[in-house]
Amino acid sequence: MQRICVIGGSRYFGKLLVKRLLAAGYRVTVLNRGSTPPPVGVEHLVADRNDEAALTAALGSRTFDVVVDQVCYTPVQAAIVARAFAGRTRRYVMTSTIEVYDPATAALPAVPAGTPVPEEVVDPATWLVATDLPWHDEAYLEAHYAEGKRQAEAVFTRSGSFEFASVRSAHVLGGGAQEFTGRLAHYAECIARGREITVHAKALPTVFIHYEELADLLMWASTVGFTGPVNACSDGSLDVHGLAAIIATQAGREPHYRTVRAGEEASPFSVDRHYAMSNARGWELGFSFSRTTDWLPGAIAEAFTTEPSPTT
Is the torsion defined by CA of 22, 26, 27, 30 positive or negative? negative
Number of domain units in the chain: 1
Report if residue 58 sits inside a domain: yes
Distance between CA atoms of residues 266 and 282, nearest Å: 31
Going residue by residue through the chain, which has 312 residues, state the pLDDT in tens, using 9 for 90 and above: 699 999 997 888 889 999 999 999 999 999 999 878 888 999 999 999 999 999 999 999 999 999 999 999 999 999 999 999 999 999 999 999 999 999 999 999 999 988 999 999 999 999 999 999 999 999 999 999 999 999 999 999 999 899 999 999 999 999 888 888 889 999 999 999 999 999 999 999 999 999 999 999 999 999 998 999 999 999 999 999 999 999 999 999 999 999 999 889 999 999 999 999 999 999 999 999 999 999 999 999 999 887 555 444
Report if residue 87 sits inside a domain: yes
Report if residue 311 sits inside a domain: no
**CATH number of the domain to which 289 belongs:** 3.40.50.720
Report if residue 65 sits inside a domain: yes
Report if residue 310 sits inside a domain: no
Q: pTM of the full predicted structure?
A: 0.94
Identify the domain containing residue 15 by its residue range.
3-303
Distance between CA atoms of residues 74 and 72, nearest Å: 6
Report if residue 55 sits inside a domain: yes
Report if residue 98 sits inside a domain: yes
Q: Indicate the average pLDDT of the chain.
A: 94
Report if residue 292 sits inside a domain: yes
